[in-house]
Amino acid sequence: MSEREPITILGIGAHVGDVELVAGGVLASHCLKGDKIATLALTAGERGVPDWQDVNEYREQKVREAHTFANMLGGEARVFEIPDGEVPDDQEIRLRVCDVIREVKPNIIITHHCNSMHKDHATTHRIVNDARFFAGLRAMEREHPPHFAAKLYYGENWEDAVDYVPYVYVDFNQEAFDLWIKALSTHWFVTGSKSFNYMDYYKSLARVRGLEARKEYAETFMIPAETMRLRQSEL
């Protein structure tokens, strides 16, 4: 019996830390299975800067944190230079993300749910859906050859809660949980923010979703509506 073929997962968030929070446990689990992990943040998320820090310095810190997290999972990170809060909803950004998808060649893409209290999150959702489509178009000539990511998932984010209904539960074990939390702890806003206790919330959410799945830990995802089909011949 042949060994499992490694897969590539690309997480695309509006800000550094988005994908790391909502899908970090699953990413850590896949890392431990020998899969390739990559992240793309359309902005650094620098406008959540602490009172005592310069916004440009914090941006540099956020970029370092993105690379540190990805490296701890044996992967790679990319951060666009777009200012936080100003993700454009245009063709140019869709093609830039398309180019990253073609370069990374993911089997799976994880991004934001369609509804959010944060405009960058909702815009990123639309961008990624279109970029995935463009990346698979053979007739759209870019630097890299076409590539279609077969699976697309939308992560569970407390800021993207409107109409979010868990559809897929992906469980992971204690080893993956520990790796995720260790990597997540390198992000200042996760451990130091006074506006929201990110660490406790996402650790607790992973345990609650794990209990619902009759497992130790889990993260949940929605999928595109057109793919919500259960195929079976009997009840």
Mean pLDDT by 10 residues, the chain (235 residues): 83 98 98 98 95 94 98 98 97 98 98 96 98 97 96 97 96 98 97 94 98 98 91 77
CB 159 within 8 A of CB 118: yes
Spell out the residues 6+ positions from residue 93 whose beta carbon is closer than 8 angstroms to its own.
42, 82, 87, 127
Q: How far apart are the C-alpha atoms of 206 and 203, rounded to whole Å?
A: 5
CB 75 within 8 A of CB 106: no
Q: Tokens in use for 13?
A: 């968030």
pLDDT in tens, 120-143: 999 999 999 999 999 999 999 999
User: DSSP secondary-structure letter at 227?
Assistant: G
Query: Which domains, from first to last, does the chain contain?
Result: 8-224 (3.40.50.10320)
Per DSSP, the three-state class of 41 is strand
Strands (E), 83-120: 108-111
